[in-house]
């Protein structure tokens, strides 16, 4: 077994649409980024790559590469899972936390869990998504940014 952790943070932009965990959320601000700026999928992708010993998201999808402008971050996670599998690892489970002041994420958590499970090729029961605020502290707490953390357990393909 191997464990990886990932995190990401993006600035808020009210003119953009929020994509979180592969789900479009019409309510609330979007995020600034080269791709679709899905802070949650970026954190999970980093966790998968890290657990498999394959580096990080920037090594595969650099923000300096125009091919990834406005890219769907679900493709990033799919590739990370495929690379991990090629290296001999399956995703066992994913646990994640999103820190944001707005929007309130509770109504979306089950949809996000299901979408992450679909993208990663695991059962929804193997995916945890929690939403927290920063109680008005730091850039996230002031509503200027959104942050996500993820932990992934990989298990050997050979069992």
* Cα dihedral value 62, 88, 150, 59, nearest 10: -10
Q: For tokens 């990401």, name the residue.
A: 8
Q: How many domains does the chain have?
A: 1
Return the CATH number at 61: 3.30.1330.50
Output 69 or 97, whichever has higher pLDDT.
97
What residues pair up with 132 in beta bridges, in sequence order? 99
What is residue 11's predicted lDDT score, i.e. its pLDDT? 98
| Average pLDDT of every residue of the chain | 96
Band (pLDDT 50/70/90 cuts) for residue 43 is very high
Lowest-confidence pick of 2-16, 55-69, 87-101, 137-151: 55-69
Retrieve residue 10's tokens.
């993006």
Task: In whole angstroms, give the CA distance from residue 59 to residue 25.
Answer: 28
Lowest mean per-residue pLDDT among 58-62, 77-81, 115-119: 58-62
CA atoms within 13 A on the CB side of 129: 27
Interval 106-118 mean pLDDT = 98
Q: What mean pLDDT is predicted for residues 132-150? A: 95
| Whole-number pLDDT of residue 103 | 94
Write down the pLDDT at residue 63.
Answer: 86
- The pLDDT, as a whole number, for residue 49 is 99
Cα→Cα distances 8→43, 46, 86, 89, 123, Å: 5, 9, 25, 23, 24
Structural domain boundaries enclosing 40: 2-156
Q: Give the residue from 125, 103, 98 showing the smallest Cα distance to 114.
A: 125
Asked whether the predicted pLDDT for residue 159 surpasses 80, the reply is no
pTM equals 0.96
């Amino acid at each position: 077994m191997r464990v990886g952790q990932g995190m990401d943070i993006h600035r808020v932009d009210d003119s953009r649409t929020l994509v979180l965990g592969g789900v479009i959320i019409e309510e609330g601000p979007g995020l600034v980024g080269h791709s679709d700026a899905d802070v949650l999928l970026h954190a999970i992708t980093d966790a998968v790559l890290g657990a498999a010993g394959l580096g990080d998201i920037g090594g595969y999808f650099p923000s300096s590469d125009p091919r990834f402008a406005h890219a769907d971050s679900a493709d990033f996670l799919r590739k990370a899972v495929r690379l991990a599998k090629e290296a001999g690892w399956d995703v066992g489970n994913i646990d994640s936390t999103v820190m944001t002041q707005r929007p309130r994420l509770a109504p979306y958590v089950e949809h996000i869990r299901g979408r992450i499970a679909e993208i990663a090729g695991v059962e929804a029961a193997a995916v945890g998504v929690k939403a927290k605020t920063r109680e008005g502290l730091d850039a996230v707490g002031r509503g200027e940014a959104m942050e996500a953390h993820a932990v992934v357990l990989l298990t050997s393909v050979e069992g």
